[in-house]
Amino acid sequence: MRIVLGVAGGIAAYKSVLLLRLLREAGHEVRVVPTRAALEFVGRATWEALSGQPVTTDVFEDVDQVAHVAVGKSAELVVVAPATADLLARAATGQADDLLTATLLVARCPVLLAPAMHTEMWEHPATVANVATLRSRGVHVLDPEAGRLTGADTGPGRLPEPEAIARAALALVATRPQDLTGRHVVISAGGTREPLDPVRFFGNRSSGRQGVALARAARDRGARVTLVAANLTVATPSGVDVVPAETGAELRDAVRAAAKDADVVVMAAAVADYRPRTAVETKLKKSPDGVAPVLELVETVDILAELAHERLRADQVVVGFAAETGDAAGSVLEHGRAKALRKGADLLVVNAVGGGRGFGTDANDVTILDGRGVVVATSSGTKDVVAHAIWDAVLLRF
Ligand code: CTP
């Protein structure tokens, strides 16, 4: 594989020498693109000797080969380690004032940035915003490790170990089995909003991350993917058909329309169980007499149960989710079992929420039940890891 190893100007650049060796030993062709500042820490000769390739930093070197476009275009993976605060800022604003940033603009392959800087710089709102921007565009930004920094100071900001960076980078391009080729999968993700008036709604805290991870994983395994997206707070993956839906009713229509020819329907969206009976067209005013209004709610259609009982296509695999907290009446799993029996889906993915678990984070921990409430698999890790475990369980149903 052709890998570009970008190196920005930080003391941790010396660790990238080992990263370069690891990538080369794994059999990859590595082109090192340091910034000018990086060469203050590790010289050109080291990079050239270990990579066996010429090393340039500026867009005005090797102009005859149009290096600023060629390097990014031919890359199959770009890794930048260390990524300094300055590099993150330049990448986030799309600058192209040296070969590394020009390469980042041109590259269409997976990009992994491994930041390293002082804790203050990492925690500054400017850096936080730059990292969020890059992540929203699909760039993978590792969290730095906490520990001893350049001086006597300690805190988050250390470059992760070269082995960990190499592992994370190569995982981005690991070829997946194309075992969903020829399948159409429909995934609902996010959380519905049920309007009360033009400015207010009943909503929930679902970010849509797990549903989006399922869409990405299915795409990577060869499926045609329809993602019914309800108010996502994360970017949608490329290469999938996105159908936006705001309310439960819109989501139901979109899912049912797409499900007609689907092999699999996964209801990962958090759908409101109740909605206000009427959504008024003008803004509700605060009552002048201090009497709090009483809102009348009506039950919404249970889309998952409807799909499971109706079976729009005879051989369709229907998958539901159950976010449970557990309570006096039963544990997370007991509630999950009861829900599996009630909903009639082929698989129910149960996860514990509350206390910071499940919502808005990148980690998940799930138990997958069949329609009778029997555990068929468990998975924990990033939402991408969990997504692949769910597809593995789905594939066993075909
Ligand atoms: N779901 C649905 N339509 C609804 C509500 C929920 O399709 N109106 C789906 C969700 O997408 C999810 C599953 O049902 O896949 C579980 O939702 P949940 O709200 O946990 O189920 P409920 O039956 O509402 O159970 P609870 O009493 O725990 O809220």
Q: pLDDT value at position 356? A: 60
Instruction: For residue 193, give the CATH number of its domain.
Output: 3.40.50.10300
**Nearest residue CA, atom 3 of ligand 1?**
302
Q: What pLDDT, in 10s, does the model give residues 152-165?
A: 778 899 999 999 99
Specify if 106 maps to a domain. Answer: yes
Q: What pLDDT, in 10s, does the model give residues 300-312?
A: 999 999 999 999 9
Domain that holds residue 352: 184-395
Q: Is residue 119 pLDDT above 90, yes or no?
A: yes
Mean of the pLDDT values across residues 187-215? 96
CA distances from 314 to 144, 251, 266 (A): 49, 22, 16
Confidence of residue 361 (pLDDT cuts 50, 70, 90): low
**Nearest residue CA, atom 8 of ligand 1?**
302
Mean of the pLDDT values across residues 170-186? 92
Question: d(Cα 333, Cα 375) in Å, to the nearest integer?
Answer: 10
Q: Is residue 364 pLDDT above 90, yes or no?
A: no
Question: d(Cα 291, Cα 135) in Å, to the nearest integer?
Answer: 46
Specify if 275 maps to a domain. Answer: yes
Question: d(Cα 206, Cα 355) in Å, to the nearest integer?
Answer: 15
- Among the atoms of ligand 1, which is closest to the Cα of residue 303? 7
Domain shared by 99 and 193, yes or no: no
- Tell me whether residue 204 is one of the annotated catalytic residues: yes
Domain shared by 162 and 192, yes or no: no
Domain shared by 205 and 130, yes or no: no
Percent of the chain surpassing pLDDT 70: 97
Mean pLDDT of the chain: 93
**Nearest residue CA, atom 18 of ligand 1?**
322
Specify if 178 maps to a domain. Answer: no
DSSP, residue by residue, 364-379: EEEEEEETTS-EEEEE
Q: Please identify, among 125, 140, 171, the residue that sits at the C-terminal boundary of a domain.
A: 171
Specify if 176 maps to a domain. Answer: no
Domain shared by 303 and 386, yes or no: yes
Specify if 296 maps to a domain. Answer: yes
The count of structural domains within the chain is 2
Question: d(Cα 330, Cα 296) in Å, to the nearest integer?
Answer: 29
CA angle 272, 275, 281 (to 5 degrees): 130
Distance, first Cα to last Cα, the chain: 34
H helices of the chain, in order, are 13-25, 44-51, 67-74, 85-92, 99-106, 119-123, 125-136, 162-172, 209-220, 248-259, 303-310, 332-343, 383-395
Specify if 177 maps to a domain. Answer: no
For residues 58 and 34, is the Cβ–Cβ distance under 8 A?
A: no
Q: Please identify, among 142, 171, 200, the residue that sits at the C-terminal boundary of a domain.
A: 171
Cβ of 37: how many Cβ atoms within 10 Å? 17
Domain shared by 193 and 121, yes or no: no
Which tokens is 286 given? 């605060």
Q: pLDDT value at position 151? A: 76
Specify if 179 maps to a domain. Answer: no
- Among the atoms of ligand 1, which is closest to the Cα of residue 301? 8
Q: What pLDDT, in 10s, does the model give residues 229-276?
A: 999 988 888 889 999 999 999 999 999 999 999 999 999 999 999 999
Domain shared by 42 and 64, yes or no: yes
- Among the atoms of ligand 1, which is closest to the Cα of residue 269? 11
Domain shared by 76 and 209, yes or no: no
E strand or H helix that includes residue 264: strand 264-267
Q: What pLDDT, in 10s, does the model give residues 9-41?
A: 999 999 999 999 999 999 999 999 999 999 999
For residues 304 and 345, is the Cβ–Cβ distance under 8 A?
A: yes
Strand spans (E) along 303-346: 317-324
* One-letter amino acid of 5: L
Across the strands, what pairs with 381?
364
Q: Please identify, among 111, 146, 171, the residue that sits at the C-terminal boundary of a domain.
A: 171
For residues 22 and 51, is the Cβ–Cβ distance under 8 A?
A: no
Q: pLDDT value at position 360? A: 60
Q: Is residue 363 pLDDT above 80, yes or no?
A: no
Closest-CA residue to 115 (of 97, 141, 92): 141
Q: pLDDT value at position 79? A: 98
Domain shared by 149 and 217, yes or no: no
Domain shared by 109 and 239, yes or no: no
Domain shared by 270 and 369, yes or no: yes
What separation in Å is there between the alpha carbon of 389 and the centre of ligand 1? 21
Instruction: For residue 134, give the CATH number of its domain.
Output: 3.40.50.1950
Specify if 211 maps to a domain. Answer: yes
Q: Is residue 73 pLDDT above 80, yes or no?
A: yes
Q: pLDDT value at position 357? A: 63
Q: What pLDDT, in 10s, does the model give residues 375-392?
A: 999 998 878 889 999 999
Percent of the chain surpassing pLDDT 90: 83
Q: Residues near ligand 1 with C-beta < 6 Å?
A: 248, 267, 269, 271, 273, 300-304, 320-323, 339
Question: d(Cα 89, Cα 78) in Å, to the nearest integer?
Answer: 17
Q: pLDDT value at position 381? A: 80
Domain shared by 241 and 297, yes or no: yes
